[in-house]
Structure 1
């Protein structure tokens, strides 16, 4: 009998003490690091109702609303971040730090498929850009390097998009509309120089220790009139919606401006287009990139 009474007293004492002693639960934030150049996506293990994101002392994002278990933002960030979280249960608050991880390679792909390279624009209903993006994903799986891929995808009839791919931790794919990522219109013109400039200025990682690759994807025509698609020479980015194309000299001017004004340098310039490897074109970019990849001849698609 005495033992039972003693046990009950001890049990009551434990309950009283547990109510008096504050109990610190682990933060519900699952995300502990992010790859530079990728949009900030947060995951939580328990329901959260408020999230504040700080870059240093500056608050750059504030969510306060319904219960969430993840938060998808359009923030492209380059520094370690402080995250303040309010949990749904008892409104517990937590402060966490998320570390930025620098990629080994950043791959910027500028796709001009507002033409017969889109499935709705050719008789075979072939999605040439989609096929190449699938190849990119397969390459990410096989690579041991940390890679960040950002794709501007100008389409013929379907909605244009800004697509992010990464192999950091696991294969990640995130898509946004152009206006969600700061462009003035959801209908992009890939032949417009301001579109290419804005894409590169806003999304290129400035750190020169990261290997940066720019891939220009579309129909092309070199110095000599070899292409049967385009009508004039020295151009790429054939945009049906605007009936315009981008000149080689315009691309050169964009890369020069980015280098001088933003300290943005590309290690590799790739032309995923026909007839873009003449000596004249290579010479145009001799002071702007270390390597150029392309084809002298017409290529499939």
Structure 2
């Protein structure tokens, strides 16, 4: 009898804490003029939602006057669930964080360490969403994640981006930047040791950003692909993100020009050193 009970307990325990295939964390630093676009992108994610195999978790730091979309200006974490309304965010609220400085590298790795611990998975992806200027000669800040409240950003040149990523306690299968000008040798050199693939643009990213999900034109949404193909490898998903990004704009599903996006296998970066 004890053996039967033990077996039932083990089955329940392993079922409760079983790993998903993927956990995708989206760090949205929207305490700036991109907030409306952040709201749109979260609603795109809700067109698909998480699944038994794929966890999609968002942390958003909204603009202070963003109450037209939220009932609060606090930073929040959401578990993305399916919903077809573009007028509001209906996903499950997990945590309210109060006012934060989303340009503090600590906020990135706190979110990542919490997310990957709470939602264990075989494959892990982090998307950093906001303004970016990488290593642009025209912009001295050489940074990503602008926070209007603090007047701060995460500097690439001063090592803050490396601090943000190197303090994540989990190796990333994919690190993606939904931000302008982040796919440069200088940026890759800061973070390549901590991830297998890096996705980003060497040019501007249109304000529509990544094509996260679509209820009808499912061939363009990156989360459509992932939830339909959760067994895909990080290499396969990285390739699919690049292709769907370009096709979503060429088809008119999204609006923008100056399209560049690439996926870099970090195994090959040391060749350039």
**TM-score, reference length from structure 1:** 0.54
Q: Is the 8 A contact 1:147 1:166 kept in 2?
A: no
1:186-201 equivalences in 2 (<5 Å): 186-201=98-113
Report which structure shows greater RCO (CA 8 Å, sep ≥6).
2
Query: Per the alignment, do residues 131 and 200 of structure 1 end up closer, same or farther by CA in structure 2, a change over 3 Å counting?
Result: same
Q: Is the 8 A contact 1:164 1:174 kept in 2?
A: yes
The 3-state SS of whatever aligns with 2:206 is coil
C-alpha distance in structure 2 between counterparts of 1:164 and 1:300, whole Å: 26
Query: Per the alignment, do residues 236 and 102 of structure 1 end up closer, same or farther by CA in structure 2, a change over 3 Å counting?
Result: same
Please list the CA deviations of residues 167-195 of structure 1 after superposition, one character each: whole Å capped at 9, or x if unmatched: 7xxxx93114424xxxxxx0121101221
Q: 1:246: which partner in 2?
A: 154
1:1-301 equivalences in 2 (<5 Å): 99-118=16-35, 127-140=36-49, 146-157=53-64, 158=66, 159=73, 160-166=75-81, 173-179=91-97, 186-205=98-117, 210-226=122-138, 231-248=139-156, 249-258=159-168, 262=169, 264-301=170-207
Task: Determine which structure has the larger helix proportion and give its number.
Answer: 2
Q: Is the 8 A contact 1:225 1:233 kept in 2?
A: no
Please list the CA deviations of residues 17-36 of structure 1 after superposition, one character each: whole Å capped at 9, or x if unmatched: xxxxxxxxxxxxxxxxxxxx
Q: Is the 8 A contact 2:183 2:202 kept in 1?
A: yes
Structure 2 spans left out of the alignment, 5+ residues:
1-9, 67-72, 83-89, 208-273
Query: Per the alignment, do residues 282 and 223 of structure 1 end up closer, same or farther by CA in structure 2, a change over 3 Å counting?
Result: same
Q: 2:220: which partner in 1?
A: none
Q: Is the 8 A contact 1:106 1:205 kept in 2?
A: no
C-alpha distance in structure 1 between counterparts of 2:57 and 2:118, whole Å: 15
Moved over 4 A (4+): 206-209
Please list the CA deviations of residues 122-141 of structure 1 after superposition, one character each: whole Å capped at 9, or x if unmatched: xxxxx201221122223447
The size of the alignment, in residue pairs, is: 182
Q: 1:76: which partner in 2?
A: none
The 3-state SS of whatever aligns with 2:182 is coil
C-alpha distance in structure 2 between counterparts of 1:274 and 1:281, whole Å: 12
